[in-house]
Amino acid sequence: MQNAHDIIIKPVLTEKSYDHLAQKVYTFIVDKKASKTEIRQAIEKIFGVQVESVHTINVLGKMKRQGVHQGRRPSVKKAYVKLKKDSKGIEFFDSIAQ
Query: DSSP letters along the chain, please?
Result: ---HHHHEEEE--SHHHHHGGGGTEEEEEE-TT--HHHHHHHHHHHH---EEEEEEEEEPPPEEEETTEEEEPPPEEEEEEEEPTTSPPPHHHHHHH-
The radius of gyration of the chain from alpha carbons, rounded to an integer in Å, stands at 15
Q: Tell me the pLDDT band of 1, cut-offs 50, 70 and 90.
A: low
Residue 18 lies inside a defined structural domain of this protein: yes
Residue 93 lies inside a defined structural domain of this protein: no
Domain interval for residue 16: 4-85
* Domain harbouring 21, CATH code: 3.30.70.330
Residue 96 lies inside a defined structural domain of this protein: no
Q: For residue range 58-71, list pLDDT tens digits in order.
A: 999 999 999 999 99
Its pTM stands at: 0.87
Residue 91 lies inside a defined structural domain of this protein: no
Residue 92 lies inside a defined structural domain of this protein: no
Residue 97 lies inside a defined structural domain of this protein: no
Q: Indicate the number of domains in the chain.
A: 1
Residue 31 lies inside a defined structural domain of this protein: yes
Q: For residue range 8-45, list pLDDT tens digits in order.
A: 999 999 999 999 988 999 999 999 999 999 999 999 99
pLDDT at 80 over 80: yes
Residue of higher predicted confidence among 10 and 92:
10
